[in-house]
Amino acid sequence: MPVTTKSNDELRKEYLFRELWGFEKVPTPANVEIYAKALLAACNADGELADEERNYVLGMVAGMGAEPGLVDQLRNYPATEEVQDLVTRDPAVRASSRALIFDAIRACSADGVLHPRELAKIYDIAQLLDVPREVVDELQSVYHEQRRITGKLFRAAYPDPKNRPY
């Protein structure tokens, strides 16, 4: 196979989605917009969209290769739309319901707390998207395991956090 001629942006997106989700192609800008708005709406389920939660989603979608205008738009997005209304607009996002639930757990936890109303909303969203409650529990367990493994990796690679070069 010859060396790729794809742009830096194309390579970044392909790498990210292949590594995180095993995707063979990257989502469209419209997919990313709906997904991001659904995450923000889930984070707002407790009536307070914390800056840490919004910033987590902004960083995620910027890393996903969102259009710069989308990131700017999401900075002030009120996040009051119903998640199920957003998701049903896009079949690809609908097909990613389980990933959306996982990312909602991550985003809602970005402020250090998965508020009971946020978790209840995640269960409600899952039910509306035909994701069984047991799967939500499993995804929550995977989230906690992933956090534990990531911490273990950080400690193994950089035993003294003060000596991390970045």
Range from 123-127, 131-135, 146-150 carrying the lowest mean pLDDT: 123-127
Q: Where are the alpha helices (H) located in the chain, listed in sequence order?
A: 8-21, 29-43, 51-63, 68-75, 83-87, 91-95, 97-108, 116-128, 133-157
157 pLDDT band, cuts 50/70/90, is very high
0.85 exceeded by the pTM?
Answer: yes
Nearby residues of 102 by Cβ (< 8 Å), 6 or more positions away: 139, 142, 143
Give me the half-sphere count of Cα atoms (radius 13 Å) on the Cβ side of residue 62. Answer: 13
Average pLDDT of the chain to the nearest whole number: 93
Inter-residue contact 35 to 70 (CB < 8 Å):
no
Fold entry, domain 8-163: TerB-like (1.10.3680)
How many other CB atoms are found less than 10 A from the CB of residue 138? Answer: 14
pLDDT exceeds 90 at position 1: no
Going by C-alpha positions, the residue among 72, 97, 81, 94 that lies closest to residue 49 is 81
Please name which of 89, 84, 92, 81 lies closest in space to residue 130, comparing C-alpha atoms: 84
Distance of CA 45 to the CA centre of its chain: 16
Phi-psi region at 113: left, alpha or beta (left = phi > 0; alpha = psi -120 to 50)? beta
Percent of the chain with pLDDT over 70: 100
Residues 128-137: pLDDT tens digits?
899 999 999 9
Residue 164 pLDDT greater than 90, yes or no? no
